[in-house]
Each structure stands twice: as structure tokens, then as C-alpha cells.
Structure 1
Amino acid sequence: MGAGFVLVIIFSAISICQNIGEPLKIDITDQGLYTLSDGTKAILAKLNQPIRARLYYAKTAALKGPDQIRFFNNYYEFVRALLEEYVTTSKGMVELEVIDPRPFTDDEEQALKYGLRRFPITEEESFFFGLVVQTQFGVEKSIPFFSPERQNFLEYDISYLIDTAVTRQKKKIGVLSSLSVMGDDVSGYMAQMMMRQGQQPKPAWTFVEQLRKQYEVKTVATDVNDINDVDILLVIHPKNLPEKTLFAIDQYVLKGGRTIVCVDPHSFADRPPQMQMQMQMQHDSSSDLNSLLRTWGLEMPAQTFAGDRSLASLAAIRANQRPEK
């Protein structure tokens, strides 16, 4: 009785959708693979110009290729289905065109022009699998190749591509940190001079380099009086900040500024210069922003760590000891 009742509801819903002319789409995958995130929906909702998405997939060549190439057919169907969700959610602002570039054609020439990767299969056949996004103002962005290894980041990659195509100016991120996460901000000439003197300029941390690919990243001094001209403030390991800096951070937040605060009860990166062992043991490697967090209604419990053991990496905790997780 219960199962029959459920079936009646389902068939009724299908009938209603057919009558009003709307296709019924249900994502029954465990992880909601075909359901767009709120972030993507926000990007599509603010589109003020049509976007043309050209999906290049050499399907004919793939059928002639080895098993390793034919394997991409399933992934292509997944990518295409996800792009069709973009078309539906954008209410027509995103147009999808699927192209099977054949040898010695304008389609193949255009794929190469857009920087898509080509993999020769035979003397004539080549394999393409990439995406080109174009705006009505002539801006072109591309994903040279869809690697299955980035399937978990597929929606992010596509949404980022669309967002950067329609956004004319990069967002600004201000980084305020007691650690040298930004590296040595020196010119190429100064870097060469330092290397000649046996000094190696400190590179920026990896996450900063990744942010620079998408945003304009600037340093915010730890003794700043006022914080402005940044869209997001990233506070990392705030340690012994002066009152004027705490006040500047608080004012930035109270004015509606978006802030990410990263505190650490024991930072491995916070190490003193070479000194006597006793002084090293007395070094405090913790940071907190409790004076402000409390006023914002937040609390970071002391001596509390959050981590994933499965993602832990090996590190030498003490000299001459075997690495530990």
C-alpha cells in the first residue's frame, strides 16, 4: 500500500510537470553530482551578459583510439550533463555548444587557437577534451583539458572560468600574518643581489601563490592603523598584535568587511631564529585573537586542534628522531 502510494505521487508529479511544459530532473546520485552548489548558482544569477560555452570533445577520434582514450567517453557524458545544468540554472544566459573537432577542419584549428591540448592518436586523428567560455565582449577563457583526476573540482573549475570571464577586475585579498607567508617582497634585481651574497629570498607560501592566480593579494602590516581597499581580510597566526592593529581589524569587521581568521595553538611554522636550546624551548608558538573573537560572539577553545589523521603528513618533530604523523 505504501509503495503504491509513493508511485502514485511520483507519476502525478511527472504528469504535472509534463502538463506545464517543464522537464522533470531528479539527481539520484549519492553525492548530488549533478546538483550545482549555492556558490555556482550565485555566479549564474548575477550574469549580466550571455555566455557561450564550447565543449570540445573528439568523440569520433576517441572511438578509434585505444582503451585509455575510449575511457574518456563516460567522463565526457558526465561533463556534458553538468554543463547542461549550468544552461538550465542560468535560464538561458549560458549557451552550450558541443564540438567534435575533425582533422584539418576549422573546428580543430579553433581548438588549437584557444590553447586546448591535442593528443595524437593516429597519423591523422587527434584527441581533444576541453572547454572554451566566451562573452559577448570578446573575453575568452579555457580549460585546456578535462582530467578525470580533477573530477571532484570540476564544478569549481567551470564556475571559476565563467566568473573570471565576466569579472573585469580581480578581488583584493589582504593578508595580515605574524608569519612570513608572503615571502620576501623584493624585485628581480634585489633577488639576484641577495643570491650573489649567498642569501636565498624566501618564496611565498604555496596557498599564497594559488590565491595570486585568482585574486590580487596584498600584504597588510601587523602594525596597521587602518584597513581598507581589500575585499577580504585574511588574518593568519595573529600573534602579539598591537592594540591599534586589533582596533583596525575590529573596525574593518564592524563596517561589514569579510574576514577569515586562522589561529593556531602550536604552529610548526612559528620557530625562532637559531639560538640556544633553552630559549627555543621557551618560545611560544601559539596565537589567538580572543580579545576580538569574544566581542564577535565567537570562541576558540585553548589547546584544541582540528585535523584529519588520514591527511596527516610525516614530519620530524625533534632533531635526530624518526618522522611522526
Structure 2
Amino acid sequence: MRRLSFSIIGVIAAAAIAIGINLFADARLANVQLDLTQGHIYTLSAGTTQVLNDLKEPVTLRLFYSRQLGSTVPAYGTYADHVREMLNDYASRSRGKVKLEFYDPEPFSDTEDRAMAYGLQGVPLDQGGTQIYFGLAGTNLEDDERTIPFFQADRERFLEYDLTKLVYELSNPTRPIVGVMSSLPLDGDPRTLMMTQGRGPGGQPYASSVLLRQTNTVKTVPTDAQVIDPDIQVLLVAEARDLSPATLYAIDQFVMRGGKLMAMVDPWSEAMAGTPSPTGMPPADTHADLKQLFDAWGIEFDPTKVVGDLTGAWRVRAGSGEGGAQAVSYVAWFNIRDGINHDDPATADLRQVTVASSGSLSKAPNASIDFTPLLTSSDGSGILPVDEVKMPDPAKVLTTFKQQGGPRVIAARVHGVLKSAFQGPPALEGDQKRSADFPAYKAQTDGPANMVVVADSDILADRFWVRVADFFGQPTATPFSDNGPFVANLIGTLSGSDALIGLRSRGDTNRPFTLVAAIQADAETKFRQTQQALQAHLDETEKQLRTLRSGGADGDKANTDAVITPEQRAAIDAARQDVLDTRQKLRAVQLELNRDISTLADEMRIFTIVLVPAVLTIIAIFMGIIQRRRRARARS
């Protein structure tokens, strides 16, 4: 009886301890997390932490989520839980500066009217026209508003970036000033818009330009500028063609005075080639370079050569005639994955960048600059003459392409003291006059200059990194490459604002079971080979069986009525048994297909159901033994 009482008291004490631990963990350890995922996709990045720590005034975030959406589409319910958890994490790390409000906008309610007033997008859930909402509205003390109209499932991997960008824009009204000099219609082409009457993506601003404007104040710099505005912190020169000596001098002196430069040159611009000229015809030459500046700064770029790479080459339809169009690898357009520098903060979290008809860069001999590659081709890349990509035949290009080793640098950081490419201001052309505030000439930088050079301007073009679609009347751009984040991240580091670095391309929460997939693929291969062999043997045996039963090869009625001899009966029985054995082997092979996967699943169940509790039990027994020994020592 006494032992029973002790046992009951022990069970009650254990339950009390368990409840106490849970209450303590909920009160004191709610914000303690252990992220063991590859890439730490559940850990807030340093940029998000910096934005939250730098908040000076409160920011209110209002999540409008229709519960009916989650009950109808469970995937969105899971996504909504992810959004809530991340918002709670933001609030807990902001030291009270981020305030959260959650709403369920039911049809025809005041809450729905409020969601519509913020500009959140209502989406019909059924044929009855019921509108559901899943968006976020943020405000600050000055009544500035920023919204995420609708959390789309295919942008879940960009969730942290979208949330942090919203908070950052509400808390940082002053943005870095970025100047853009380009011959490309980055902000849209009015002529194309007029021709298409605004229908479709044609003539719309580049998605990369839209992304850049989300976190920066962008000023357009004309391609004939004589002076770069001193307020500009970073100058993006992208596919700026036919620049005069005066404009080159302006860029040069901008760098000499400490300005940050991102130069995007190109041996052949696919975007420019697809842009009609004033005459309506595409240009015959679309290359752009900064040869005079690059020569003085120790950078080599050859505009007559294009990099080709079989690794990651795009599959395009080519050919015609009797054979019809076929898919071939076009080596001039390729995705870069392994060639991304993951040690640089701007490219650390990027997974893929797509380039098209790009050139290559290198450090000039005896140059004193630091030259750090950011994007490189694979070891199996090669060089193509630029003429082969102007009016390309992808099949012919593939046939003549030769791998020449690598890698070849397509984008790089340049750091070091630079000397001017000019001895002084160049002479002006025609009746041009210099402004009264024309800056004095500088022969070299006061300290190390920082710039980024890229041998491809097509990184900016939509066709090489986003798919534009219509989402209930709203154009949406879904990225398949990280070209836009590549440019925006680099501009961010050059401007000195690294708060959003690493947020634009976070890891995907949908992690594939690579081991299971490999086992399944291997088993599938073995299964198909064995199945084909057994099936062929089965077909042949059944054919022989039909022949024996008919009494001959022709199978006519005369043979069918013939008397079957004992030898034929034995042969028929043997063939029938062979058929049964072969079918049994086929069933066994089908069972073997998933055996390894089932074994792995059983091992995981044993680990989670048996092994973990067993380890905890052993630890508890060990601690109990130690406690008993301590008590025994105390008594003695």
C-alpha cells in the first residue's frame, strides 16, 4: 500500500514537473529557436534584425486573412500559419516597435471595407462571388502606408524579403539615391505601349527597374550628361551606347570623387536587338563598352567575343523544314548556379542567375586593383564570335561550339585606388557649354574605389528572369532566376545600405527528399530493366503455350481437334508453370520497387518512436541512479 502511495505521488510529481516545464518554456523560452534546416531558412537574417533594431518609431502591421480560404484550400492555411509565425517573430524582436493586428474580413463586414480601403486584393473563392482576402497593410505614425495586396503561394520563398521591405520602407523615408544611365527602355517604352494599347507586358517597365525603385530613389541620367549629380550615391551604367568623351569624363570624375559605379557592358544585347529603332528596324550592332575607362582602371573586356556554356544552356526550339522544329541547347543563353560567389554578401543567397550572349572580364596584367569574381561560367565553357549570335542558328552554334576550359568571369567586384582615364576635361563638341558649377578635375581617387562590372546587360531583361502573368486583372511577375535581386543586392552594398542584403532570395521551405528520390530513381531503373526482360519472356512463353494447345503453328480447326500426346501435355504443363513463375517474379519485382523506401521509412519511424524515447528513458534512469547514490551517501 505504501509503495502504491509512493507510486501515485511520483506520477503526480512527474506530471506537475512536466506541466511546470511547459509553462516555464512558454513564458521564458517562447523566442528560443533551434533551426537545423539547410540554409537556416527559419532564421531571420542579419538584414531583418538590423531593420528591426533600427526602428525609431512604432510600425503597425495588420494581417487580413479570410479563414474560409484556409478551410477550402489547406495549402493557404499552412501558408497563413507561416505568415503569422514570422510576424510574431518580428514583433518579439522589435522591442515593442512592431505592433500586430489580425482580422478576418467576412463578406459585407466593416472589416472587409477596411481591407478594401487599404487596397488589398479580394479574390473570388467560388462561383457565388465570395471575396476572400490574404494581405497585409502597414502604417507608421505619419500615416504612410505600404501593403502586400495578396500573399501568393509561389512567392513564399520571398516572404521575409517582402515583410522586411515593407517595414524598412515605413521606417526609412530617406532612401539611397541611385542614378541610372542606359540606352534600354528600363522605365518602359511609350511607343510599344501605344502600339499594344497597354495590353500585355510589352512596353512595361523592366521588373528589375521596378525592384530597384522599391528600395532606392532612382534618377535618370541622360546618356549625354556632362556632370553626374553630386547627390547620386551609386551610378548604374547599363548598356549605355555611343557615349561621348564628355559623358565618359563625367563618369570617370564621378568615380574619382568617391562615387560608386555599377557598369553593365555587353558584346551583344538581346534586349536592345529586340527594341525597334526610330526607323522601326532593329539595330545591327548592340554592343556597349567603356573601353577608355576600363583600360585606365585595369579591366579587360573584348566586345567581339561571347561566352558559351553547355552547363545550364537553355533549351530552345530551332530548325524547320521536313524535320520540323526541335529543342536544342543554345549555349549562348545559360543559367549560372555553381558559378555564383556565395562568399559575397550580395550574392550569398542567390541560387541562379541567367545570362544571355554575355562577354567575359579579366584583370589586366600589372593592374593594382583587387578583382573578385561574382559570376563565372563553368569549366566547360567556350568562346563564340559575336557574329554567331546576331542572327543565330542554335543548332549550328551547338554543332560548332567547342569547350575551351574555364571558368570565365562574367561579373566581378573591383576595389582599389584608380587613376583617371583623362588628363583633364575633354573638348566639347559643337556649341556645347560647361555649367558654372562644373567640378574641378581629379587625377585619381582619394582612397580605394568600389565598383561592380558586369559583362551582360540582358540580366536586366524580363524574359531572362521572370514570367509575367495576369492574376485576376493584376500583372504579376514570378521569378525563375535571381537576376533582379542580383542587381538590387549589388546596388544595396554599393550604397552602403546592407539592411536588405540576403533577403531577396531566401531558401525554399519545400525541401525535397533527395535520398528518397535517389533510391526511387535507382529502384525504378532496375525495376524497368527486369520488368522488360520478364515481360518479353512471358510473352514468348504464352505464345508457345498457345501453339502447343492448338497442336501446331497455324492453329487451324483440324489441329485444334488433334489428340494431344503425353509429350505435348508435359510441354503444356511446363509452359503453364513457366507462365505462373514469371508472373510471380514480376509481382516480386514490383514489390522490390518500394522496398528500400519502405525500409528507410521504417528506420525513421523507429528513430522517432522508439529511439528518441529510449534515449530519454536511459537519461532519466541514469539521473535516477545518480540521485539515489547521492541520497545513500547523505544517509551514511
Q: TM over 0.5, yes or no?
A: yes
In structure 2, the partner of 1:206 is: 206
Q: Partner residue of 1:176?
A: 181
Contact in 1 for aligned 2:61/2:138 (Cα 8 Å):
yes
Which residue pairs with 1:100 in the alignment? 104
Distance 1:248 1:90, change over 3 A: farther
2:169 is paired with a residue whose SS is helix
Deviation at 1:149, TM superposition (A): 1.4
Query: Quick one: distance in 2 between partners of 1:305 and 1:25?
Result: 45
Shift of 1:92: 2.5
CA contact (8 A) 2:120 2:135 kept: yes
Displacement after TM superposition at 1:176 (Å):
1.3
What CA deviation, in whole Å up to 9, does each residue of 1:105-132 have, x standing for no partner?
4433322322223345577975321111
CA contact (8 A) 1:58 1:129 kept: yes
| Stretch deviating more after TM superposition (217-226 or 120-129) | 120-129
Residue number in structure 2 paired with 1:45 = 53
**1:242 equivalenced with 2:244 (yes/no):** yes
Distance 2:253 2:238 in 1: 18
Partner residue, 2:94: 90
Rounded Cα–Cα distance in structure 2 between residues aligned with 1:205 and 1:108: 32
2:64 and 2:115 in contact (8 A); partners too:
yes
What's 1:222 paired with? 223
The answer on whether the counterparts of 1:182 and 1:208 sit within 8 Å (CA) in structure 2 is: no
Range with bigger deviation, 243-252 or 310-319: 310-319
CA distance in 2, matches of 1:315, 1:218: 39
The equivalent residue for 2:74 is: 70
Q: Which residue of 2 aligns with 1:27?
A: 35
Aligned positions, number: 287
Deviations 1:277-323 (A, max 9, x none): xx95xx4x433335445666766577464889658474885669679
Give TM-score, length-normalised by structure 1.
0.68
Larger Rg: 2
Counterpart AA for 1:100? D
Q: 1:128-180: per-residue Cα shift (whole Å, max 9, x none)?
A: 21111111222222212111011122222222222333344565432212445
Which amino acid in 2 is paired with 1:116? L
The aligned counterpart of 1:131 is 136
What is the correspondence of 1:9-28 to structure 2 with a 5 Å cutoff?
21=28, 23-28=31-36
Structure 1 alignment gaps of length 5 or more: 1-13, 196-201
Taking structure 1 as reference, are residues 320 and 298 closer, same or farther at Cα in structure 2, changes over 3 Å only? closer
Residue number among 144, 147, 155 corresponding to 1:150 in the alignment:
155
| Partner of residue 79, structure 1 | 83
2:150 alignment partner AA? F
Say if 2:59 is the partner of 1:54: no
Alpha-carbon distance, 1:76 to partner: 0.8
Counterparts in 2 of 1:257 and 1:82: CA distance versus 1, 3 Å:
farther
**1:184: Cα distance to partner?**
6.1
Which amino acid is 2:60 matched to?
Answer: R
> For residues 131 and 56 of structure 2, what CA distance do their matches in structure 1 show?
36
Task: State the Cα distance separating 1:263 from its structure 2 match.
Answer: 1.4
Q: Give the corresponding residue for 1:140.
A: 145
Corresponding residue number in structure 1 for 2:118: 114
SS in 2 for 1:55: strand
Gaps of 5+ in 2: 1-20, 196-201, 319-388, 399-636
TM-score where L is the length of structure 2: 0.38
Would you say the 8 A contact 1:211–1:217 is kept in 2?
no
Whole-angstrom distance in 1 between the partners of 2:169 and 2:314: 33
Q: 1:111 to 1:291 in 2, by over 3 A?
A: same
- In the alignment, the residues of structure 2 paired with residue 49 and residue 308 of structure 1 have an alpha-carbon distance, to the nearest angstrom, of 52
- Contact 2:267/2:302 (CA < 8 Å) preserved in 1? no
Alignment partners' CA distance in 2, 1:181 and 1:124: 38
For 2:226, give the aligned amino acid: N
* 1:286 maps to 2:283: no
Give, in whole Å, the separation in 1 of the partners of 2:54 and 2:315: 40
Pair 1:96–1:233, CA change in 2 (3 A): same
Cα RMSD (Å): 4.3
Is residue 2:163 matched to residue 1:162? no
Mapped to 2, the partners of 1:180 and 1:144 lie a distance apart of 27
